[in-house]
Amino acid sequence: MKKVLILAYDFPPYVSVGGMRPYNWHRYLKEFDVEPVVITRQWSNTNGNHLDYISEGESEETIVEETEFGTIIRTPYYPNFANRIMLKYGNTKYKFLRKLISAYYEFAQYLFPIGPKIELYKAAQDYLKTEKIDAIIATGDPFILFKYASKLSNEFNIPWIADYRDTWVQDKTRSSNLISRKWNSYFESSYLKNVNTIVTVSTFIQKQLEGHLKSKSYEIILNGFNPDVMEKAKNIIQETELFTIAFAGTIYEWHPIESFLKTCNHFCQQGKEIQVLFYGVNAPEKLEKLIDSNFPDLKQSVKIYPKTENERLVELLAKANLFLLFNDYSILGTKIFTYLGLKRKMILCYSDDREAKILKENHYNLTEFVSESKQLQADLIHETNSGIIVRDSAHLLEVLKDLYDEFRATGQIACDSIGVEKYSRKIQVEKLAELVKEVGIVASC
């Protein structure tokens, strides 16, 4: 059996979309004759919000968990000075000082062995001194893990695989000016010199990377849904009393959330009852303020819930009649796979809306390609017959009326999706296992 070391900063119990990818590797790799060793940090999850990302770990000692699926090594986490200020005084005080300190660590970690993530490198180094590993995988972001994997590869003569959940240099929010773009570009090229294979989640991300990282070997390992969790949720009955739409995760600036709420408000003003549930959104206070100021009549119809661990979230989502999905254009994302696995109808907002186009022009972070589809979510919905592609706000109102009538008549919303099984994460992990074996064989020759 081959053995792979996985550097993964985000990992359960921390609630994040990024953490589910390495979690499922850990869960299923052993079924395909690859033993995983995950190195992550300690997560306390005491706040149930963004502060969990900077809260101190539970122990000053490294914690080793031996599970039936593999080993998890959880390193200590010590918030830097900027994070300690935020934890003590909140998000509104000493902003400039905190940004200055955070910027220092963000830049300096590439030059010196400092920063809160260095503990993962130390733990991996200690482990490799005594244990044989066939391959290393680093999943980013944070992309500093690529530096650690590259160094470990050189030090211990072990091939490594870079997993890009998102782009590094090409993301305009991460490389917001020429200096940061040049800085990140230099280090990305440097650390990827000795990489064996680059893994990513879509051909769109691959094309973004190929413009900078030429002559590299690429493999696509899709995101997907966790089949074990979906199996537990399959007998949950959707809401029968109140027409319910659910959304989980991040609301980005290019998402037409105000337009969606405005249409829901109009729908309610026509005498229809609706419940909109938001789970674990990134800016709940901003969403609440938007509703309070612009759509006060929706206050009783909209519920906002904090982040919750994935299995519980899936159970809550399964009770909804309908799932809301905002258009991410060339980005497929992970949310759509959870929705697919639960087999509830999706509504994608929007495919051709004037206001949404303006939001995209002003806020979308990635350059798109003429050769690539700019409607990946719509393509998948069409393929699986899993939802409705909503053109614009006027069409949304029509769709809501039709679905509401169906709900009143039958007590549910039907979803006749097809072919979703191939998007199970277990199938994708099998592909990763074969890659690890190939890399391991080449390294041993």
Task: Write the pLDDT tens digit of every residue in 117-130.
Answer: 999 999 999 999 99
Q: Which two tokens stand for residue 266?
A: 């109009």
Provide Rg for the chain, Cα atoms. Answer: 22
| Average confidence (pLDDT) over 199-222 | 89
Q: How confident is the model at residue 231 (pLDDT cuts 50, 70, 90)?
A: confident
Same fold yes or no, 2-78+116-224+425-444 and 227-423: yes
Return the pLDDT at 360: 95
- Element at 230 (helix H, strand E): helix 227-233
Q: What is the CATH number of domain 227-423?
A: 3.40.50.2000
C-alpha–C-alpha distance, residues 439 and 150, integer Å: 15
Amino acid symbol at 185: S
- Classify each residue of 224-238 as buried b or exposed e, where b means 16 or more C-beta atoms within 10 Å of its C-beta: bbbbebbeebeeeeb
212-223 pLDDT per residue, tens: 888 889 999 999
Query: In the predicted model, what is the mean pLDDT of the chain?
Result: 91
Q: How far is CA 174 from CA 177, 183, 202, in A?
A: 9, 11, 20
Report the range of poorest mean pLDDT among 91-105, 172-186, 315-329, 391-405: 172-186
**At how many degrees (to 10) do helices 335-342 and 376-384 cross?**
10
| Average confidence (pLDDT) over 19-32 | 95
Q: How confident is the model at residue 445 (pLDDT cuts 50, 70, 90)?
A: very low
Is pTM beyond 0.85? Reply is yes
Residue ranges of domains in the chain = 2-78+116-224+425-444, 227-423
Return the pLDDT at 432: 96
Residues 6+ apart with CB under 8 A from 396: 260, 263, 347, 349, 350, 390
pLDDT at residue 173 above 70?
A: no
Q: Which two tokens stand for residue 251?
A: 């609301």
User: What backbone torsions phi and psi does residue 199 show, to the nearest 5 degrees?
Assistant: -110, 140
pLDDT at residue 158 above 50?
A: yes
Return the pLDDT at 217: 92
Q: How confident is the model at residue 262 (pLDDT cuts 50, 70, 90)?
A: very high
pLDDT at residue 177 above 80?
A: no
Q: Are 264 and 396 in contact (CB under 8 A)?
A: no
C-alpha–C-alpha distance, residues 438 and 39, integer Å: 22
Q: Are 258 and 340 in contact (CB under 8 A)?
A: no
Residue 18, by phi and psi: left (phi above 0), alpha (psi -120 to 50) or beta? alpha
Q: Are 246 and 277 in contact (CB under 8 A)?
A: yes
C-alpha–C-alpha distance, residues 167 and 61, integer Å: 33
Q: Are 168 and 145 in contact (CB under 8 A)?
A: no
C-alpha–C-alpha distance, residues 255 and 410, integer Å: 31
| Average confidence (pLDDT) over 168-172 | 73
Burial of 60 (0-12, 13-18, 19+ CB in 10 A): exposed
Return the pLDDT at 90: 83
| Average confidence (pLDDT) over 99-114 | 87
C-alpha–C-alpha distance, residues 192 and 432, integer Å: 19
pLDDT at residue 308 above 90?
A: no
pLDDT at residue 443 above 70?
A: no
CATH number (3.40.50.2000, 3.40.50.300, 3.40.630.40, 3.90.550.10) of 2-78+116-224+425-444 reads 3.40.50.2000
C-alpha–C-alpha distance, residues 23 and 428, integer Å: 13
